[in-house]
Amino acid sequence: MYILAGLVIGALIGAARARRRGGNGLDQLQYAAVFGILLALAGLFVTIVLNRMV
């Protein structure tokens, strides 16, 4: 659940950041992909930590 949430939130943040910097559609797509992957990885680590605690 945290992984999917991180992916979606990261994609939204990345696209918004590229749009704010004046990027075209491909720039927005690239930023969305990178931020989505980064926050999905963060969500993966959160999931692993929470599963090991229980």
pLDDT-based confidence at 48, cuts 50/70/90?
Answer: very high
- SS3 category, 54: coil
Residue 50, Cβ density class (10 Å: 0-12 exposed, 13-18 middle, ≥19 buried)? exposed
As a whole number of angstroms, the distance between CA 32 and CA 25 comes to 10
The model's pTM: 0.89
Q: Quick one: average pLDDT of 14-38?
A: 97
Model confidence at 54: pLDDT above 90: no
Q: Where are the domains of the chain?
A: 2-53
Residues 6+ apart with CB under 8 A from 30: 18
* Residue owning tokens 């969500």: 43
Averaged pLDDT score across all residues of the chain: 97
Contact (Cβ atoms closer than 8 angstroms) between residue 6 and residue 32: no
